[in-house]
Amino acid sequence: MSAPDPASAAQPGGTAAAWPGHCLCGHVRYELTAPPLTCYACHCTDCQRRTGGAMRLVMWVHRSAVQVTLGTPVLLEFDGAGGRPRRSRACARCDTRLWAEPPNQPELAMLFPGTLENPRAFEPVAHLWLRSALPWTLIPPGAVRYDTQPEDPHELIRLWRAARAADRLP
């Protein structure tokens, strides 16, 4: 794990280290300026449909820690499964989804960590909704697994903190 830790890399009077990210075409660039709260993989059918893939990587971050440095991501608003309102930010040119802004959690953003320049720095701490995982999906041995999702979502933050404490994550 070689990514800098903004907490320890902060300079007095200077700026903290940041994890840069961008969309596919480069029209929108951003920086994540604080460590994430958690990162997990979700294999639910909504995430499969939404990404067109086998799973979605989800990274919870403070919304104030996502700083747009180039361009303007558009705001997409729609009702998801069960009529739940969803909002996400995307590049209008290349259609890359960058992060979601859940209306009921104004302080949080759900970053799509594949848009970071170094997504390898962040390994998901848990795999959710394995009940609907595609049959050929390989889950790393030792990964924390949920048939659906944890009853208390804070469990995902606790798992992340434990992994950071064990020096496995930035």
CB of 27 to Zn ion, least distance (A): 4
Among 27, 63, 86, 161, binds Zn ion (CB under 5 A): 27
Q: Are 41 and 53 in contact (CB under 8 A)?
A: no
Decide whether 154 or 168 has the Cβ nearer to Zn ion: 154
- Which two tokens mark 69? 């440095």
Could you give phi then psi for residue 93, rounded to 5 degrees? Answer: -85, -50
| DSSP SS3 for 56 | strand
Contact window for Zn ion (CB under 5 A) among 27-35, 59-67, 103-111, 117-125: 27-35
23 near Zn ion, rule: CB under 5 A: yes
| DSSP SS3 for 131 | helix
110 near Zn ion, rule: CB under 5 A: no
- Which two tokens mark 8? 């320890």
Cα(37)–Cα(74) distance, integer angstroms: 24
- Subset of 115-134 contacting Zn ion (CB under 5 A): none
- Subset of 34-93 contacting Zn ion (CB under 5 A): 42, 44, 47, 91, 93
Decide whether 91 or 111 has the Cβ nearer to Zn ion: 91
Could you give phi then psi for residue 91, rounded to 5 degrees? Answer: -80, 130
* Contact set with Zn ion (CB under 5 A): 23, 25, 27, 42, 44, 47, 91, 93-94
